[in-house]
Amino acid sequence: MQFLISLHINPAVLDALTDEEKVAIGAGHGTFIEALKQSGELISTQALVDPSQAVVVTVRNGQPVVTDGPFLEAKEHLGGFYLVDCEDKGRAIELAAQIPDASVEGLGVEVRQVMFAVGQLEA
């Protein structure tokens, strides 16, 4: 079963962390990625740039309109994700709990099963 484990970041929470804590989070992700590769459960992981760099595209009357809303209003944003293939939802939750973000108050780690996928699987 495939699951998307998405990381919801609150910049205010991140900023409040000490440098040591930030380094520990980074190292924790490194360890986590290695373990996932070893177990064969990692499909891919991606981190996203700060939402201040994002744009929202809408098409009105056939014309694309580019704005910076509406999601910027939210305090939390999607910081990145892990796409994993594991035994069941229980295991996906177990994996999510190993992500350092899960131990930080104010950051969210969400688990959702993948329902449809298309793309390059046969690398």
Partner 1 sequence: MTAPVTEDLLRELTPQVLSALVRRYGGFEDCEDAVQEAVLAATVQWPSEGVPDNPRGWLVTVASRRFIDQMRSERARRERESATSAEVAPAEVSDSDDTLVLLFLCCHPTLTAASQTALTLRAVGGLTTAEIARAFLVPEPTMAARISRAKQRIRAAGSTFALPEGTERKERLRVVLQVLYLIFNEGYTASSGSELHRPDLAREAIRLTRTVHAQLPEDGEVTGLLALMLLTHARRETRTTATGDLVPLDEQDRTRWDGRLIDEGLTLARASLAGPALGPYQLQAAIAATHADAATTEETNWPQVHALYLILERIAPNPMVTLNRAIALAETEGPSAGLALLATLDGDERMAGHHRLLSVRAHLLERTDDLAGAHEHYRRAARATASIAEQRYLESRASRVKPATRPSPRLDE
Which residue ranges make up the site for partner 1 (CB under 8 A)?
1-2, 37-44, 85-87, 113-117, 120-123
Residue 14 or 32: the one with the smaller Cβ distance to partner 1 is 32
Residue 10 or 81: the one with the smaller Cβ distance to partner 1 is 81
C-alpha to C-alpha distances, 95 to 11, 25, 30, 98, nearest whole angstrom:
23, 15, 14, 5
In whole angstroms, what is the distance from residue 11 CA to residue 75 CA? 8
Q: How far apart are the first and last CA of the chain?
A: 19
- 8 Å CB contact between 114 and 4: yes
Residue 86 or 109: the one with the smaller Cβ distance to partner 1 is 86
Q: How far is the CB of 81 from partner 1 (least distance, A)?
A: 16
Q: How far is the CB of 5 from partner 1 (least distance, A)?
A: 15
Q: How far is the CB of 122 from partner 1 (least distance, A)?
A: 6
Residue 41 or 101: the one with the smaller Cβ distance to partner 1 is 41
The three-class DSSP label of residue 112 is strand
- 8 Å CB contact between 106 and 10: yes
Q: How far is the CB of 46 from partner 1 (least distance, A)?
A: 14
